[in-house]
Amino acid sequence: MLTKVLTAFLLPLLVVAYTDPLLNNKTTPALNITAISAAHGSSVLECWQLEQFSVSNTPGTVGALAVNLGNASNATYSIIQGRTDAGLHNAPVPQLVYFATGLIRLSIPNTTQEAWVTGGKYGLIFAQDTPDKSQYGHLTEYVADEDTIALTVPLAPGQELKHKVLHSGGCTWREVAGL
């Protein structure tokens, strides 16, 4: 039991606590994110690769690396109390979720699939396990003591996020950090 607790909760914290100083200077050539999708009526975790970064020519970000994520609708900024279990739920609509802070555990019921998301630079996920695609949805736990800041950005109706599936299961730390 103790080993399971250490593996489930402390290991992700240690990964967060020990961060290679070079990570802050690395960027993947394309944006890799964990996605909660659906197959055969059930939610699944997948590692997605979005489009390649390009150099921005938009005023205010000229020269920065950028990925166009498409049109959005009705974005929401949320403050989620620490140690909150959001329970079993579906994504209401296909949506990007950016966790600015916190430590989040995503899991799929009746499977061993889970993914850990650390708020901050690598805190972007995509959820599209809507009720019409997934019977049960997924579980979300905000395991840190601190509040989690989340920005939820639903895609505009009819909009799809261009991607390729790298593999089943959430992205690894190395895949999102570009190591």
138: containing domain:
21-177
- Residue 7 lies inside a defined structural domain of this protein: no
**Under 8 Å between Cβ of 72 and 158:** no
Residue 87 lies in a domain: yes
CATH number at 172 reads: 2.60.120.10
How many folded domains does the chain comprise?
1
Residue among 153, 148, 100, 105 at smallest CA distance from 128: 153
How many Å apart are CA 35 and CA 106, to the nearest integer? 10
Task: For residue range 84-131, list pLDDT tens digits in order.
Answer: 999 999 999 999 999 999 999 999 999 999 999 999 999 999 999 999
Distance CA 142, CA 80 (A): 8
User: Residue 137: left if φ>0, alpha if ψ -120 to 50, beta else—which one?
Assistant: left
Per-residue pLDDT of 140-176, as tens digits, reads: 999 999 999 999 999 999 999 999 999 999 999 999 9
Mapping DSSP to helix (H, G, I), strand (E, B) and coil, where does residue 39 land?
strand
Residue 13 above 60 pLDDT?
no
What is the rounded average pLDDT for all residues in the chain? 88
Is 99 part of a structural domain of the chain?
A: yes
Global pTM? 0.83
Please check whether residue 15 lies inside any domain of the structure.
no
